[in-house]
Amino acid sequence: MKTYTLPPTDPNTQGLATFYQENLRRVYQFVYVQVKNREVAEDLTSQVFLKAVRHLDSQRSSQSMRSWLIQVAHTTVMDYWRSIKRAPTDSLDVLLEAGWEISGKDATLGANDNPAERVQCILQQLPERYREVLTYRFLLKYTVSEVAQIMGVTEANVKTLQFRALNRAATLESAMTDGDRSHLVN
């Protein structure tokens, strides 16, 4: 396993730049999947790396640091959603000014023809733990052991969660498909 050697007193080292380059895309993808807004994802990704630089442990292995970094990203995203939930919104214009986009398409379950939109719709219908395990495993392409470390569970538990999540997702997909065909039956 590769280890990063970063002197805590000098954040401008080559090791830090390497760490950033190797993990930027992974962290950004993780954050973007959670917030679905490019500008917010970029801001939160910056916050994740700022937190990481302050608390980086140079004694960790690269695998452990990647898992820790995703955990920092998860916490940062959850803090963001908590702040949004607490913030009063008087109108839809406030959200639009903040960069949120409203689709002209019907956002109901089964109304999407785009596979990526259907996947996102299904993921949003799943419980948080199921959504988390599927995101880590299939969207971010983490191994079972990486997901176990990030989620703080055993590998067997990750496999169980994944199995249950896939079953629930298949049921939702089936309901979406049946819903798409229901308008054809007269």
- List pLDDT tens digits, range 14-63: 777 888 898 999 999 999 988 888 999 999 999 999 888 888 777 777 78
What lies within 8 Å, CB to CB, of 28 at 6+ separation is 41, 42, 45
In this prediction, residue 45 carries a pLDDT of 93
Q: How far apart are CA 39 and CA 161, in angstroms?
A: 31
In this prediction, residue 91 carries a pLDDT of 55
56 token code pair: 């980086």
Three state DSSP letters for the chain? CCECCCCCCCCCCHHHHHHHHHHHHHHHHHHHHHHCCHHHHHHHHHHHHHHHHHHCCCCCEHHHHHHHHHHHHHHHHHHHHHHHHHCCCCCHHHHHHCCCCCCCCCCCCCCCCCHHHHHHHHHHHCCHHHHHHHHHHHHCCCCHHHHHHHHCCCHHHHHHHHHHHHHHHHHHHHHHHHHHHHCCCC
Domains and CATH numbers, the chain: 1-102 (1.10.1740.10), 103-186 (1.10.10.10)
Low-confidence stretches of the chain (pLDDT < 50) are 1-9, 104-111, 181-186
In this prediction, residue 70 carries a pLDDT of 87
In this prediction, residue 90 carries a pLDDT of 52
In this prediction, residue 4 carries a pLDDT of 47
The C-alpha torsion from 170 through 172 and 174 to 180, rounded to 10°, is -150
